[in-house]
Structure 1
């Protein structure tokens, strides 16, 4: 009697990854290095953390779009760099104050050399030598042509070679630009806090949009209520104005007021407090 072959037991299906888990994995893989690069891009620690957190908050708000993007890390990196280089930070008081330089002499020299470059040159160098992008990708992310991106990259490398020759070698520069932020006391926030802040920002944005819409609707309704719905002809010159209240005449003074007036008239030229001109 032949036995029927035993069918293999089905393997336990791996539970699907939730959006929060996928977001936390992307944050843990990209945030430390991105904070470090954004700090080298701006020279400000708080602005670097804020830019990366804002970028990941936007990514969480638009997670269905970011999750299917071919390069989610590039999506977040572009958002962080755009926020860090926004001109609006010039008007913020805390970003006008000078920030203490790094304690490590090599970090201080590298940051000083990078800050001598223009923002577009720094961004081009960080994307090519730090993030490992090609020139076409760098040109697309910086909204420039490929020859312009190549020119910026060559100028940035020449400047670093003149200012920090010990760190301008290609392999050393790539390692220095790709170091994580945790090694330089630039630890980013935890992923759950970033997600919760993004959700609160979305709720407050929705409430603000609803309040603004209600204000616009109320103003429009009040304008329609107060606006004239018919044409009124102008009053021609010389037309008698009617329905005015009669002009009231001043009545007689009371006895008390008459006594006060008589007293004032009698004492108007008397007393040492008044000066009477003398005739010469």
Structure 2
């Protein structure tokens, strides 16, 4: 008896994206499949996988949501009206409202950060460009065109720059330069808030983009290339090995303003995981699921880290009890520092030179090992030569003594023998023949 193959399902992130593109809440999707909201949340987070008839029903529903007609047709019911004209023209529905999105999450999750204004683009301008929970910026900022380079603005908001490279006819270098020009200014400021070091922030962003250029085919096909680079920059910046480098053993000069110094010191006093969660959620503006996924933690753990970090910040700065105020102060602190990133061409050339250096070093090391092995094989003996055993003492043979001066007793005995006659039986003298 053979078992029929299981129905294929999209990845957990794609399941949630399809639901949000159709403007459905988790409760509505659970009612259609016949399960609870907690079950749908577990399916979308990847903790569990549907089986049996529920799997087939869920896969059929997701397939219907993924069709163009299911996305472009006017949505009614939960949102109480048709989709916006802009969504019909672009072929994508508008994201669900913030309140509905927050209601689908766990009750222990803190409230989302408020909408960002034009003054906060310096910190969070790269966060939600490529698939975050919130839009890139308000409509006024997108219309002004001050956040994205020309290639980004021509392609339209909400789509990754690397993912549109093939559609727009850009070369890999041009697509990389567009992504770097859009993400690097805000990423340097974010990394500075994460580490408190200006040089380390610039170095972390450059290393992250060098790694992205080295793996550009993978990054170009990623759903969120900006998030990929941000995660790489954060991992490099928070590496504990920097404390052993001579250039990073001493702290850098703090900010000039006393309030900024206190805020930065409070941030640096937090554990790295708490600091990163607070920066992603309240500073960058990611949702709690996106923050948990980027920090490789569960939603509950990310919520506890965020609440603890807010408590620590509020204990040192009582005026920072509101997440909106924390976001504003973090943006002001990041904008106060004059942090500039290198040119994209220099980053690409440095990455290629570093890759060539490591390749040559690996080749030289391999050649050295092969040469040492060949020399050992050439000089090694071809047959076994037993070693010479150490000498052993022979019993019964007295040790050989060297002649030395006679003692007084021996001299008197010699004189007595010489003075006595040689004739007589008392003395036997051998005769010569």
User: When the two structures are superposed, what TM-score results if normalisation uses the length of structure 1?
Assistant: 0.74
String of CA shifts for 1:56-98, please: whole Å, max 9, x gaps: 1111111111111111111111111111111211111111112
In the alignment, is the contact (CA less than 8 A) between 2:260 and 2:333 conserved in 1?
no
Equivalent position of 1:88 in the other structure: 241
In the alignment, is the contact (CA less than 8 A) between 1:32 and 1:182 conserved in 2?
no
SS in 2 for 1:166: coil
Equivalent position of 1:122 in the other structure: 275
In the alignment, is the contact (CA less than 8 A) between 1:131 and 1:178 conserved in 2?
no
Structure number with higher relative contact order (C-alpha < 8 Å, ≥ 6 residues apart): 1
Give 5+ residue unaligned stretches, structure 1.
Answer: 1-13, 240-280
Equivalent position of 1:9 in the other structure: none
How many residue pairs get aligned? The number is: 226
- Residue 229 of structure 1 pairs with residue 229 of structure 2: no
String of CA shifts for 1:107-158, please: whole Å, max 9, x gaps: 2222122112111110111122223333333233323333222111100011
SS in 1 for 2:350: helix
Q: Would the alpha carbon gap of residues 197 and 172 (structure 1) be closer, same or farther in structure 2, given more than 3 Å must change? A: same
In the alignment, is the contact (CA less than 8 A) between 1:37 and 1:177 conserved in 2?
no
2-structure distance, mates of 1:168, 1:216: 61
Of 351, 358, 361, the residue aligned with 1:198 is 351
Equivalent position of 2:215 in the other structure: 62
Q: Would the alpha carbon gap of residues 45 and 168 (structure 1) be closer, same or farther in structure 2, given more than 3 Å must change? A: farther
SS in 1 for 2:255: coil
Per-residue deviation at 1:46?
0.5
Per-residue deviation at 1:49?
0.6
1-structure distance, mates of 2:289, 2:241: 28
- Residue pairs, 1:37-52, within 5 angstroms: 37-52=190-205
Q: Would the alpha carbon gap of residues 178 and 17 (structure 1) be closer, same or farther in structure 2, given more than 3 Å must change? A: farther
In the alignment, is the contact (CA less than 8 A) between 1:124 and 1:149 conserved in 2?
yes
Give 5+ residue unaligned stretches, structure 2.
Answer: 1-166, 393-433
- Residue pairs, 1:70-81, within 5 angstroms: 70-81=223-234
In the alignment, is the contact (CA less than 8 A) between 1:139 and 1:146 conserved in 2?
yes
Per-residue deviation at 1:174?
2.5
Per-residue deviation at 1:36?
0.8
Equivalent position of 2:372 in the other structure: 219
1-structure distance, mates of 2:334, 2:364: 40
Displaced runs of 4 or more, over 4 A: 178-183, 236-239
- Residue pairs, 1:256-271, within 5 angstroms: none
Per-residue deviation at 1:182?
6.1
> Which stretch has the larger CA shift, 129-138 or 177-186?
177-186
> Which stretch has the larger CA shift, 164-173 or 46-55?
164-173
- Residue 157 of structure 1 pairs with residue 310 of structure 2: yes
Per-residue deviation at 1:22?
0.9
In the alignment, is the contact (CA less than 8 A) between 1:37 and 1:178 conserved in 2?
no
> Which stretch has the larger CA shift, 82-91 or 106-115?
106-115
Equivalent position of 2:172 in the other structure: 19
In the alignment, is the contact (CA less than 8 A) between 1:36 and 1:179 conserved in 2?
no
2-structure distance, mates of 1:31, 1:113: 25
1-structure distance, mates of 2:336, 2:349: 26
